[in-house]
């Protein structure tokens, strides 16, 4: 799922490999804030003010990480999208940060989300905390790619289905 392209960081640093972050939130001001923060950190950012009904749309965008508001349009559409993404093999391992003002809900499910590798940022959020959470999830995802779990040994007979 990790897709990288050559790009440059807006603050004038040398060209780096660009990481693509998809942000889904129903508030335009919040989307623009995410764009400003994340582009300043050197990330390529795609913004969407609606939740995707079709996981194929997310697969086509091929993000390296998703920042997702759980409550979109006053409904738990983001929560439903999170569930779909975690149940679909193509997006199940995609790092996700949920960003929400639903403090009571997060108190109930934060441990479960973190156990599933989902980061949690509560609104209003601290910019440094957001940036660190994104970095941590991207680094843990790249560690998984760089250090895959060894496959079990198979018989040496070729052509058999495992």
Tens place of pLDDT per residue across the chain (162 aa): 333 333 333 444 433 468 999 999 999 999 999 999 999 999 999 999 988 888 999 999 999 999 999 888 777 888 889 999 999 999 999 999 999 888 888 888 888 898 888 999 988 899 999 999 999 999 986 544 333 333 333 333 444 444
The pLDDT score that the predictor gives to residue 19 is 96
Confirm whether pTM is higher than 0.95: no
The reported pLDDT for the residue numbered 36 is 97
In the chain, the domains with their CATH numbers are 15-144 (3.40.50.2300)
Pairing relationship of beta strands 96-100 and 65-69 according to DSSP bridges: parallel
Distance (Å, whole) CA 127 – CA 125: 6
Q: What pLDDT, on the 0 to 100 scale, is given for residue 13? A: 42
- Closest among 142, 82, 147, 150 to 116, alpha carbons compared: 82
Structure tokens at 161: 């289905």
Which pLDDT does position 142 carry in this prediction? 53
């Amino acid at each position: 799922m990790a897709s990288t392209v050559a790009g440059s960081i807006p603050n004038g640093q040398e060209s780096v490999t660009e990481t693509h972050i998809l942000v889904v939130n129903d508030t335009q001001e919040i989307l623009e804030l995410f764009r400003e923060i994340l582009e300043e950190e050197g990330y390529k950012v795609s913004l969407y003010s609606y939740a995707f009904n079709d996981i194929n749309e997310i697969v086509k965008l091929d993000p390296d990480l998703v920042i997702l508001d759980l409550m979109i349009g006053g409904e738990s559409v983001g929560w439903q999208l999170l569930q779909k993404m975690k149940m679909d093999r193509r997006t199940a391992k995609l790092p996700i940060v949920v960003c929400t003002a639903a403090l009571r809900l997060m108190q109930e499910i934060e441990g479960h989300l973190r156990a599933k590798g989902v980061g949690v940022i509560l609104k209003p959020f601290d910019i440094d905390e957001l940036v660190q959470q994104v970095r941590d999830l991207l680094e843990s995802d790249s560690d998984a790619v760089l250090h895959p779990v060894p496959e079990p040994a198979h018989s040496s007979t070729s052509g058999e289905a495992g």
